[in-house]
Each structure stands twice: as C-alpha cells, then as structure tokens.
Amino acid sequence: MRKLLLLILLLTLLFDGLYAQRRNGIIGRRRESSGLFVFSFGPDYCYGDPDDSRPFLGPVFNQNLLKNLDFSLGYRQTYGSTFNQIPSTYGFKASINYGDVTGADIKNLTRGYSFNSRLIQFKIQAEYALYFGGGRYSRFKPNSVYGFLGTGIMQTESNLTNSTGYGNSKYLYKKSDLAPIIPYGVGFMHDFDNNFSLGAELNFEFTFSDYIDGFKPPYPESKSNDVLNGFSIVLSYKLF
C-alpha cells in the first residue's frame, strides 16, 4: 500500500513538472486532442434495382431528394499531427443516422414499383484531415479537407407497392433487413475559432444488402447490392 501511494505521488509530481515546463515554454507546444459533437443532414440517393445498382449508371428509380433526407448525430475525436510540415489531424467518428429513401420505377413502367424505406445506421469511421488557410505565419488554420473510411450496420424497414398489379414469382422480397455497410467519402470543414465549425461531406455507403428498396430481382437484372450516395451539411461544436 505504501509503495502504491509513493508511486502515485511520484507520478503526480512528474506530470505537474512537465505541465509547468510546457506552460513556461521549456517544452514546445503541440496540438492537443479534441472532442466534438457533430450534427449533419442532407439528401441521399439509393442506387437500387432493377437494371443496375452501381453508382452513376442510373437513375433506375425516380427519386425526390427533398424527401430522401438523412439526419445524423455523432461524436468526433481528433489527434494532432503533421504531414510535410502541414498541420493535420487523425481520429475517428461514431454516429447514428436516421433517414428515408423513396423512389418509383421509370425504366420498367409495366411493373410499376414504388418504395419508401426508413434507414437506421450505426457507424464508426477513421478520418484524416489536412489544414490550410489563415495566413502564412498564422498558427490558426481554419480550413480542412478530410477523407474517411469506416464500417457499420444498417436496419431497413421498406414499404413496397405495385401500381399495376404485375408481379414476378422469381423476385425476392424483404420488408425488414439488417446488413453491414462500409461508409467512405471526403469532406471540407471551416473552423470559426469559437468552438463552432461548418462544412460539407460527399459520402458513399456500400451495403451488403440488395433490399434497401424492399426487393431483389433475379440475376442478371440484379447484378450487385444497393448503394447509397449522399451530400451532407455538417455542423460541429468543440466540447474540449
């Protein structure tokens, strides 16, 4: 017990000494870690069936992006570093997302499918950012660009309707589905130096599901899983 108390006392004195030296300039300053509360919102587009689920080869469904909104709450932790003498940070973000995607057939009017799906996602992703701006000799760099890659899980609840009454016995249908996802993308952030930051993200989500729209046609009509693509406005508040 005495050895433990002595060790705690020595560590306390060591940390106090290091803090005093850093405060007085004996040890050079460094970028501290930061914790941020993050809120984002924006439209999503679902690349779904029947013709092709791969991005930029659609559109397959006629979608109203004003109804395809995604909202996210999260926590971001960053750690200071340098890259070729350029200020940078690396870290992670954990978030929960809630959104809706809707659509209707425009390539297969005979079938006449339309869908509405509610999405709940839990995501954690690694991030790396480079900072710039603020003048040549200024330490404060208000702008940053960053990339991210992560993993997560998505729960979908789909409502699929058929206006023509035409169906296909070879199709597979799921009203509810749970599947892994891989989020990735790029973003830009501007720091107002008052604990608030405002930015934007272009994000993609590769999903291990072909049931975001509620159904899966047989091959070769369905060649790959559904993909989500979104644009978000991001507001951050620095907690520490």
Is the CB of residue 113 less than 8 Å from the CB of residue 62? no
How far apart CA 148 and CA 234 sit, in angstroms, is 14
Q: Which has more confidence, 14 or 108?
A: 108
62 contacts: CB under 8 Å, gap ≥ 6 = 103, 104, 105, 106
How far apart CA 156 and CA 222 sit, in angstroms, is 19
pLDDT (tens digit, 9 = 90+) per residue, 48-74? 774 444 444 444 556 767 778 999 999
pLDDT (tens digit, 9 = 90+) per residue, 14-34? 445 544 444 444 433 345 688
Q: Which has more confidence, 133 or 233?
A: 233
Is the CB of residue 92 less than 8 Å from the CB of residue 77? yes
Instruction: Output the CA angle 9-13-14, nearest 5 degrees.
Output: 115
Residue 158: pLDDT band with limits 50, 70, 90: very high
C-alpha Rg value of the chain to the nearest Å: 24
Residue 178 — φ and ψ, nearest 5°?
Answer: -125, 125
Residue 179: pLDDT band with limits 50, 70, 90: very high
Q: Which has more confidence, 106 or 89?
A: 89
Q: What percent of the chain has pLDDT over 70?
A: 74
Residue 105: pLDDT band with limits 50, 70, 90: confident
Two structure tokens written together for 162: 């058929």
Q: Residue 236 to residues 80, 91, 96, 189, 202: CA-CA distances in angstroms?
A: 17, 15, 15, 9, 16
Residue 220: pLDDT band with limits 50, 70, 90: low
pLDDT (tens digit, 9 = 90+) per residue, 132-145? 987 666 677 899 99
How far apart CA 237 and CA 189 sit, in angstroms, is 12
pLDDT at 82 over 50: yes
Q: Residue 238 to residues 8, 37, 77: CA-CA distances in angstroms?
A: 31, 6, 10
Q: Give the chain's length.
A: 240
Q: Which has more confidence, 4 or 230?
A: 230
pLDDT (tens digit, 9 = 90+) per residue, 190-205? 999 789 999 999 999 9
Residue 109: pLDDT band with limits 50, 70, 90: low
Two structure tokens written together for 99: 């959104």
Distance from chain centroid for Cα 109: 34
